[in-house]
Amino acid sequence: MYPQLLTYLLEFIKYQEHIIRYLLTLLVGENMFEKPTEEPVNMPYRKLQVDDLPIIETIEQLDYKILLQEFYEQHGKPLKPVQRRANSKVSVPKSLNCPQCGAPSDFLYANNGDKGQFQCKVCSCLFSDKNRFSKEAILKCPHCARTLEKIKERKDFSVFKCKNNDCSYYQKKLQAMSPKEKKRFEKDPQAFKVRYIFRQFHIDFLPLSKQSPELPRVDLSKIYASPHTLGLILTYHINYGLSARRTAAIMQDIHGVAISHQTILNYENSVALLLKSYVDHYPYELSDQFPEMKLTSK
């Protein structure tokens, strides 16, 4: 009898809980018992979000020599260079080449006067110093496929931004703002990240490779120190773990050799680069036995 009564009471309590939730929802106007979402509603750290990768469009590179040969085969005469006027105030730099086909300056026009735009007579390419052909690839927004614009250039990276007002990314960010955030956005738009941004880092990964052709700072075959002195320096600095300054002091006080701590660091760098390939692939033969240690008690 008692188990049946407990079951009935539990069911009745659950029924009352549903009634209380329904009444509170009617009074307050919203459901107070919904489980909170994993993502917070207010996100003040939007600038720390990482956007998707952009669309990378490679540029087709042409050869002006092949294009000149094709022009000769089609027209039966060679393509003549650009005839410049003697009184022209705009000149094309002789060191300038077409970024798409590599044609020399003899085949380049000053397309819009002195405003910095040029046109190639061979491939009809329009370009300037800030043109897209000055880059290795074209970066486009993954949301609207609009070409990204470089807005900042730092020492280690460049910042590209999508400035399309109809971009779905931009519109979605605006719609997700609360009324309070919209008022702040009107006064201080820089406080919000609402446009797609991509950072292109200028990192040289070749020195990080194991097969790096990086040369030592110092040519060990041309140093003034003898091999014995070099061995002492490396023994103190590497084997005994002394700093470069302490190693230099020991070499001066004990061996009478005057050497700077920076020279010791240069020696260390040179030896490390030369021995790296031997250390990485050295066939170490480990023993399967441990030496016996005799413990003596006094």
Is residue 21 included in any domain, yes or no? no
Burial tier of 134 (Cβ tally within 10 Å: 0-12, 13-18, 19+): exposed
Identify whether residues 258 and 194 lie together within a single domain. no
Q: Amino acid identity, residue 154?
A: R
Q: In this predicted model, which residue has the larger pLDDT, 116 or 12?
A: 12
Question: What's the whole-number mean pLDDT along residues 239-260?
Answer: 91
- pLDDT band at 48, cuts 50/70/90? low
Tell me phi and psi for residue 140, to 5 degrees. Answer: -125, 155
Question: What's the whole-number mean pLDDT along residues 45-49?
Answer: 55
Identify whether residues 73 and 120 lie together within a single domain. yes
* Each residue's pLDDT tens digit, 32-41: 555 555 544 4
Identify whether residues 264 and 224 lie together within a single domain. yes
Is the pLDDT reported for residue 193 higher than 90? no
Full domain range(s) for residue 262: 220-276
Identify whether residues 101 and 169 lie together within a single domain. no
Q: In this predicted model, which residue has the larger pLDDT, 225 or 249?
A: 249
Q: Which of 67, 63, 86 minimizes the C-alpha distance to 78?
A: 67
Is residue 215 included in any domain, yes or no? no
Look at strands 55-58 and 137-140 and give their pairing.
antiparallel
- Give Cα 139 to chain centroid, integer Å: 14
Identify whether residues 129 and 149 lie together within a single domain. no
Is the pLDDT reported for residue 19 higher than 80? yes
- The pLDDT score that the predictor gives to residue 3 is 60
Is residue 267 included in any domain, yes or no? yes
Q: In this predicted model, which residue has the larger pLDDT, 293 or 234?
A: 234
Is the pLDDT reported for residue 89 higher than 90? no
- The pLDDT score that the predictor gives to residue 164 is 92
Tokens of 265: 């660091």
Q: Which residue, 86, 103, 134, sits at the end of a domain?
A: 134
Q: In this predicted model, which residue has the larger pLDDT, 91 or 238?
A: 238
Is residue 79 included in any domain, yes or no? yes
Question: What's the whole-number mean pLDDT along residues 242-265?
Answer: 91
- Give Cα 163 to chain centroid, integer Å: 21
Measured distance CA(250)–CA(246) in Å, rounded? 6
pTM here is 0.43
- pLDDT band at 166, cuts 50/70/90? very high
Q: In this predicted model, which residue has the larger pLDDT, 193 or 210?
A: 193
- The pLDDT score that the predictor gives to residue 298 is 47
The mean of the pLDDT values for the chain is 79
Q: Which residue, 109, 134, 159, sits at the end of a domain?
A: 134
Q: In this predicted model, which residue has the larger pLDDT, 55 or 222?
A: 55
Q: Which of 139, 138, 111, 137 minimizes the C-alpha distance to 124?
A: 111
SS3 letters across 40-81:
CCCCCCHHHCCCCCCEEEECCCCCHHHHHHHHHHHHCCCCCC
- The pLDDT score that the predictor gives to residue 86 is 67
Q: Which of 9-23, 132-146, 210-224 has the highest mean pLDDT?
A: 9-23
- The pLDDT score that the predictor gives to residue 206 is 60
* Each residue's pLDDT tens digit, 202-216: 776 665 555 555 667
Q: Which residue, 85, 115, 134, sits at the end of a domain?
A: 134
Indicate the number of domains in the chain.
3
Identify whether residues 171 and 230 lie together within a single domain. no
Check residue 239 and report its DSSP letter. I
- The pLDDT score that the predictor gives to residue 49 is 64
* Each residue's pLDDT tens digit, 98-156: 888 888 888 888 876 666 778 888 988 877 766 555 555 788 999 998 988 888 888 88
Tell me phi and psi for residue 158, to 5 degrees. Answer: -120, 145
Is residue 243 included in any domain, yes or no? yes
Identify whether residues 89 and 115 lie together within a single domain. yes
* Each residue's pLDDT tens digit, 60-87: 788 889 999 999 999 899 998 888 776 6
Q: Which of 164, 159, 54 minimizes the C-alpha distance to 173?
A: 164
Is residue 18 included in any domain, yes or no? no
